[in-house]
Amino acid sequence: MWNNITNPNNNNSTGHVNIFLVCMYSFIFVVGFLFNLLALVFFFYQTKSRSQTIVYMTNLAIADVLLILTLPMRIYYNLGFDDLPQWLCDVLGLVLKANMYGSIFLLTCICFDRCMAVTFHMSTRVSEGRRKAPLVCLGIWMLTFGASVPIYLSQRKHVSNKDCFHSLPVYATNLAVVLPTLFLGFGIPLVIMLICSWGLARAVRRSSVAKTNLVDSRKIQRMIATSLFIFILSFLPYHAILVLLYLYGENIPYPMQAAYRYSLMVACFNTVLDPVAYYFTTDTFRRSVDMGRRMIPLNSQNSDSNHRSRMPNS
C-alpha cells in the first residue's frame, strides 16, 4: 500500500508515495464533485417547491463541495511531495474538518426535520420551527468554523516540526478538545439520528396508509436505513480512531497514525455517499409526508387540541 520511492534529483519528494490514498482521494474528488454539483443545480431549480429539507440538503452539498476542493492538495502530498507551506496545510485542514462536522450536523438536521414533519405534522409549533431551517444552517456554519479556528490557532502555537497532512491534529491528543469533539461533534448527533430514525420507522409501521398501496412503506424504511448506514459508515471509524489515539497518549505507534489517515479518507468518502441520501430523501420523503397526513392515530392528541382550540369558550 505504501511504495518507497527515492528521487535524489527531486528535493521536494518525501520518499513515500501512498498509491491507495492517491487513488481514493482522486475518485472522491472527481465523483463527489460531479454528483454534488449536479445536486446543487437540481436544488437551486427547486425554487417553487423549496422545502426545509431542500434547504438543509443544499447547505450539505455546499459543505461537501468545499471539503472536496481541499483534496487536490492531499493528492499532491500523497504523491510524494512536501513542498506545501505549513500555513496552507493548516488552512486546508481547517476547511476539511469544519465542513466534515458541518456535514454531520446537517445530516442530523435532515433526519430530525424528516421525523418532525411526519410524526408531528399537525403541530403548528413544529411547522413554525421547521421554517427556521435557514437560521439553523447559518448557526451550523458559524459553529463549525468558529470552533475550528481556535483549535488550529492553538495547534500552530504548540506543535512544532509538523509534516503537513502527515502529523496528527491537536484534538487527537488534547483531552480538552477530544471530549467536545467526540460528544458534541459525533456522539450527540449519532444519538439524535438513532432516535429520529426509530421514531420515523415507528410512525411508518403504525400508519394505516402503510398497509395499503397508496405509498411504498418499504421504500421509506430503506430511506431511513440508508441514511443511518451512510452516517455510521462514514464517521464512526474516524471517531473510534480518535478515542484510541487519545488512549495511547504520546507514544502513538505508526499503525495507529496510518489508521487515522485512512479513517479520515473514509470520512471524506461521505461526500460521494451523500447524493445517494439526496435521491432517497427527495423522492421518498414527499411520500412519507403524505403518509403522515393520513396517519391514524399518530397525532390524535394534537388533533384533539386543535379541535378544542377552534371551539368557542362557553
Position 14 scores a pLDDT of 46
The number of beta carbons lying within 10 Å of the beta carbon of residue 304 is 12
> Tens digit of pLDDT for each residue in 197-228?
888 888 777 765 555 555 556 777 777 888 88
Assigned domain for 190 exists = yes
Confidence of residue 48 (pLDDT cuts 50, 70, 90): low
CB proximity list for 70: less than 8 A, separation 6 or greater: 92, 93, 95, 96
Of 75, 78, 38, residue with least CA distance to 57: 38
Question: Rounded distance, CA 121 to CA 132, Å?
Answer: 16
Residue 115 in domain = yes
At 209 the pLDDT is 52
What's the domain range around 246? 2-296
Q: Is residue 313 part of a domain?
A: no
Mean pLDDT, range 92-117, rounded to an integer = 88
| Residue 183 belongs to domain with CATH number | 1.20.1070.10
Number of independent structural domains in the chain: 1
Query: pTM for this structure?
Result: 0.80
> Is residue 105 assigned to a domain?
yes
Residue 227 lies inside a defined structural domain of this protein: yes
* Domain contains 307: no
pLDDT of res. 298: 39
